[in-house]
């Protein structure tokens, strides 16, 4: 009797890293809507620097901020289906987060330009995310042998 052979799709290291990062973004987006995990939940605004809600009591969030995390995470899960997409998500997303870090450093935290909203803890998290995502995308990329 012939045995059925099931094959699981092979996932490269860069794809696995992209999936992990994407899942974290989805989780952060969901947790931003959970009272208790997000302190000052009653002060969660749609957008703007007046939102006093803090994810884990540290990171400024708004409805817009949470939705961006969710969209970013879902995009990462979709892009992680291929090694090239996974690498693009990690490196491209890392560049976006480095740009967001710079934006957070220069924007007046009390101005309407701080519409996401961002605080100092967000700024440093964005630096770490940007560098980490770029490193994962660059270091875990499949090697080309010539």
Range of the domain at 107: 19-139
Q: Looking at the whole model, is its pTM more than 0.95? A: no
Count up the domains in the chain and report the number: 1
Place of tokens 């009797």: 1
In a domain, 3, yes or no: no
In a domain, 115, yes or no: yes
Closest CA to 50 of 60, 59, 35, 58: 60
In a domain, 79, yes or no: yes
In a domain, 109, yes or no: yes
Query: In which element (H, E) is residue 35 found?
Result: none
Mean pLDDT of the chain: 91
Is the pLDDT score of 2 beyond 70? Answer: no
In a domain, 105, yes or no: yes
Please report the pLDDT score of residue 36 as a whole number: 95
In a domain, 12, yes or no: no
In a domain, 57, yes or no: yes
Neighbours of 29 (CB within 10 A): 21
Write the pLDDT tens digit of every residue in 14-30.
999 999 999 999 999 99
**Among positive and negative, which fits the CA dihedral 10, 15, 21, 27?**
negative
How would you write 89-100 as a 3-class SS string? HHHHHHHHHHHH
Write the pLDDT tens digit of every residue in 96-128.
999 999 999 999 988 888 888 889 999 999 999
In a domain, 97, yes or no: yes
- Start-to-end CA distance of the chain, whole Å, equals 43
Measure the CA–CA gap between 28 and 55, rounded to whole angstroms.
8
């Amino acid at each position: 009797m012939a045995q059925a052979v099931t094959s699981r799709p092979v996932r490269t290291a860069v794809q696995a890293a992209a999936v992990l990062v994407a899942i974290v973004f989805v989780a952060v987006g969901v947790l931003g809507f959970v009272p208790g995990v997000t302190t000052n939940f009653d002060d969660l605004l749609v957008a703007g620097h007046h939102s006093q809600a803090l994810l884990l009591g540290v990171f400024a969030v708004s409805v817009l901020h949470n939705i961006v995390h969710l969209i970013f995470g879902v995009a990462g899960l979709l892009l992680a289906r291929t090694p090239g997409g996974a690498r693009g998500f990690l490196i491209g997303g890392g560049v976006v987060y480095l740009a967001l870090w710079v934006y957070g450093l220069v924007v007046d935290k009390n101005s309407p330009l701080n519409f996401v909203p961002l605080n100092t803890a967000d700024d440093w998290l964005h630096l770490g995310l940007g560098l980490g995502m770029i490193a994962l995308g660059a270091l875990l990329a499949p090697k080309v042998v010539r």
